Amino acid sequence: MLPRPDRIIVPQYTAPKNLSLIAAAELLGDGKRAAAAQVIDLAVRKVIAITRTKRGFTLTRQGEAAGTDEQEFLQQFFGRASTVRLARGRNRELGQRLRTSQRDAIARLVASGLAAEVPLWRKILVPWRKQPVEPTALAAPIVDHLWGVHDYVKLAEQDRFRVLQSPEGALRNELDVLLLNEKLLPYAVLFGLEKQWMRELSVQYRDLPVEFTDQLNELLVIVDAAGLAFDLVSAVAEISTLVDATDALEGVGAVFGGIGEALSNLELPDLG
């Protein structure tokens, strides 16, 4: 992950708008967790369903994604199938397919002016940093927002409560807080804080007042997906590692697949 900006960061309790988890991971300099975070995000939003099997997990496509990055990720992830099976140590073919969606997401960031290729001199001086791009000044507000989400997730419970009771927050009840925290689970995965976040989610589910029973029943699908998050990360992270390692060895030219051609064929998402 790239160093934290040397600026004042305000905790944020909502994710940046119109930004995929893949793009967020690249702007933070941690593409290795991009696929895992994106899968959990799609599960929380009920675009895919996750079930555990004896040998791993079965992911079933049950909806459509809105953003271009997510649509391409789904297409590469599932292909023409409606289900995909994941098992540790058996995801190489899927990892190779996902390289396309990761490359194109990076190219969109570059085309939109939010990222730029890491200079050659820095690659030579810092050879262990494999990230092919870095955020530009235009991306600074988005990067700050992402670090704000990181800080909110990492805060102690009482400190997060103060954020939520600020004039900008002021959520109505326990159900609102639970729904908010579910939506931030993919970011907890991205930041490597999923174990802590899952513990808090489980406590919040247990303590939800009886009057919210009907609403709680509607959340059971999300609970099932979120409950698998920590175990699923290991299987999906294997895919991300394959993507990251291969791209790093081949260089940024390979990441973009010929940047001129890649950019000319890309539809830019609205990142405003």
Q: What is the pLDDT of residues 158-213, one digit of tens each?
A: 677 677 766 555 555 667 777 777 788 889 888 988 777 777 776 776 666 666 65
User: In a 10 Å sphere around its CB, with 0-12 CB exposed, 13-18 middle and 19+ buried, how is residue 158 labelled?
Assistant: exposed
Residue 129 is assigned to a structural domain of this protein: yes
User: What contacts 211, CB < 8 A, 6 or more positions away?
Assistant: none
CA dist., res. 62 & res. 221, Å (int): 12
Q: Calculate helix-pair angle for 140-154, 194-207, nearest 10 degrees.
A: 60
Distances (CA, A) of 115 to 46, 67, 108, 180, 261: 30, 18, 9, 29, 18
pTM of the predicted structure, to 2 decimals: 0.78
Is pLDDT of 268 > 70?
A: no
Residue 10 is assigned to a structural domain of this protein: no
For the ranges 146-155, 187-196, 211-220, 259-268, which has the lowest average pLDDT? 259-268
Residue 1 is assigned to a structural domain of this protein: no
The pLDDT score that the predictor gives to residue 217 is 54
Residue 180 is assigned to a structural domain of this protein: yes
Structural domain boundaries enclosing 245: 21-264
Residue 172 is assigned to a structural domain of this protein: yes
State the total domains in the chain.
1
Residue 133 is assigned to a structural domain of this protein: yes
The pLDDT score that the predictor gives to residue 168 is 58
- Across 51-79, average pLDDT: 88
Residue 272 is assigned to a structural domain of this protein: no
CA dist., res. 98 & res. 87, Å (int): 16
Nearest to 152 by CA among 7, 8, 1, 12: 12
Q: Which residue has the higher pLDDT, 90 or 4?
A: 4
Confidence band (pLDDT; 50, 70, 90) for 96?
confident
Is pLDDT of 260 > 60?
A: no
